[in-house]
Amino acid sequence: MKIIATVLFLIGVCAAQSADPALLAEINKIKAVDNHTHVPKLVGAGEKDEEYDALPCGGYVEPSDDPVMARPENPLFLEAWQKIYGYKYSDKTPAHVAELLETKRRIINEQGDRYPAWVLDQLGIEYMMANRIAMGRGLDPKRFLWVPFDDALLLPLDTQAMVDTPDRKFFYSREAMLQQRYRGDSGVNGSPATLDAYVSQVIVPTLERQKKAGAVAIKFEAAYLRWLNFAKPHEQDARATYQRFAAQGAPAKPDYINLQNHLFRVIAREAGRLGLPIHIHTGAGCGGYFDLEGSNPVLLDSVLNDSSLRKTNFVLIHGGAGPYTKIASFLLGKPNVYADFSEQDWMLSTNALSTVLRDWLEWYPEKVMFGTDLFPGTPEINWEEIGYMTATTGRQALAIALTGMMNDGEITRERAIELANMVMRENAVKLYGLK
């Protein structure tokens, strides 16, 4: 009897790890909303796209190894060549790859500025959130929705005391350039004399300008710069710190952190007024010095529990990817908190990701969103192939999670299809007011 029970248990486990074919077919038909990407713009010969991320890692900071699923050996990259570009081979010989690259160049030339939208059609994606400093050529605003970066607004003073790793030295230099750009765009030369003046002359105009230019949300990558514990600030101390160092000098780290905590809440309130959800990186990040402990989404508790911010929606980008996905499932219980599983479909296998998704779906399915976190890569494995790999992994993992819930009698097939549409599309359509 014990042997029979064990066999039946193993059969049940195996069944739960396979997607219902009909359900997967339905999920593959859904025109998705991709909640998080770093999609590049089209560039000409000799031109570079430097604006796909405020804090880029690849080629800029000390490299770290990619997880196994993201390495070129993943067969989904070969499948992407076949499905997107009609690649006729099942190998990667130099001659065949050279033929692939020529096919890519031909299609890009044929499609012209419509090429990025053509790629979306191949991936089954209707809308793609473009996390970028600014939009650019080929990124049609009817399909590509802008999510600008606003960490720089937290950094009006010299950041010397905040730099504690080689990566952060580079990251803070990038934020300093963006801070200057936002001041220039706002017509501000130098530093406003008071904190209130900085808010009214730089922060508010920047957010309003972004909204007017088509932004549907704003993004913070703060976990690359500091811990996410934006604790309740001492406002008078924040004012004093700003006024003392506005002209010159660098505040001590505790004083600067307090100032940032105050400014984050100011920005969050303004974002709520403008109807801009706040995207914030949580969980694993790139670079060999990334501080994983500081990216725990539970550190956001004081912000998420701030009653003055309840009109602002927060999206936990990556859903605490890595060790914090369980924490994310609990935080989704707050009325203004959502999460996507971008990056997780880049890091995890379909079975591993399905476990995370099932947990979230059994808690708050109306708060869960699909995302790929695609980004520029190499000519052979670029954003298109990364998008195919992550979208395929995400759809399959969702199908496995919902199949397990059906097999266990938690939901009907009709409900599974409804949940799939919510995750892949409808939750984002509702959050951002999309057509």
9 vs 396, residue with greater confidence? 396
Q: What is the pLDDT of residue 88?
A: 97
Q: Token pair for residue 155?
A: 């950094």
| Average pLDDT of the residues in 141-161 | 98
Distance CA 122, CA 104 (A): 14
Locate tokens 């049609």: which residue?
Answer: 140
Distance CA 276, CA 268 (A): 9
Say if 427 falls within a structural domain.
yes
Closest to 264 (Cα-Cα) out of 232, 292, 296: 232
Say if 97 falls within a structural domain.
no
Distance CA 434, CA 127 (A): 9
- Supply angle C-alpha 38, 426, 51, rounded to 5: 10
Residue 198 pLDDT greater than 60, yes or no: yes
Say if 114 falls within a structural domain.
no
Q: What is the pLDDT of residue 46?
A: 85
| Average pLDDT of the residues in 365-381 | 97
pLDDT tens-digit map of 298-344: 999 999 999 999 999 999 999 999 999 999 999 999 999 999 999 99
pLDDT tens-digit map of 85-104: 999 999 999 999 999 999 99
Closest to 221 (Cα-Cα) out of 161, 276, 147, 158: 147
| Average pLDDT of the residues in 111-120 | 98
Q: What is the pLDDT of residue 3?
A: 39
The pTM for the full model equals 0.94
Q: Name the strand (E) or helix (H) holding 239.
A: helix 235-245
Q: What is the pLDDT of residue 246?
A: 95
Domain count, the chain: 1
Q: What is the pLDDT of residue 279?
A: 98
Query: What values do phi and psi take at 273, rounded to 5?
Result: -60, -35
Report DSSP letters for 122-144, one per residue. HHTEEEEEEE-SS--TT--TTTE
pLDDT band at 435 (very low <50, low <70, confident <90, very high): confident
Residue 69 pLDDT greater than 70, yes or no: yes
pLDDT more than 70, % of the chain = 96
| Average pLDDT of the residues in 102-114 | 97
Average pLDDT, the chain: 94
Tally of residues, the chain: 435
Say if 293 falls within a structural domain.
yes
CATH of the domain at 161: 3.20.20.140
Say if 101 falls within a structural domain.
no
Domain membership of residue 384 as a residue range = 21-65+122-432
pLDDT band at 16 (very low <50, low <70, confident <90, very high): very low
Name the DSSP class of 40: P
C-alpha distances in Å from residue 356, one per residue of 152, 174, 321? 32, 34, 10
Residue 61 pLDDT greater than 90, yes or no: no
pLDDT band at 418 (very low <50, low <70, confident <90, very high): very high
Say if 102 falls within a structural domain.
no
Say if 6 falls within a structural domain.
no
Distance CA 433, CA 211 (A): 14
Residue 391 pLDDT greater than 70, yes or no: yes
CA 311 to chain centre: 22
Q: What is the pLDDT of residue 17?
A: 78
| Average pLDDT of the residues in 98-114 | 97
Q: What is the pLDDT of residue 257?
A: 98
Q: What is the pLDDT of residue 58?
A: 81
pLDDT band at 164 (very low <50, low <70, confident <90, very high): very high
Residue 43 pLDDT greater than 90, yes or no: yes
- Confirm if 380 and 87 have CB atoms less than 8 A apart: no
- Confirm if 153 and 203 have CB atoms less than 8 A apart: yes
288 vs 197, residue with greater confidence? 197
| Average pLDDT of the residues in 285-298 | 95
Residue 12 pLDDT greater than 50, yes or no: no
Say if 112 falls within a structural domain.
no
pLDDT band at 15 (very low <50, low <70, confident <90, very high): very low
3-state secondary structure of 212: helix
Residue 377 pLDDT greater than 60, yes or no: yes
- Confirm if 163 and 136 have CB atoms less than 8 A apart: no
Residue 9 pLDDT greater than 50, yes or no: no
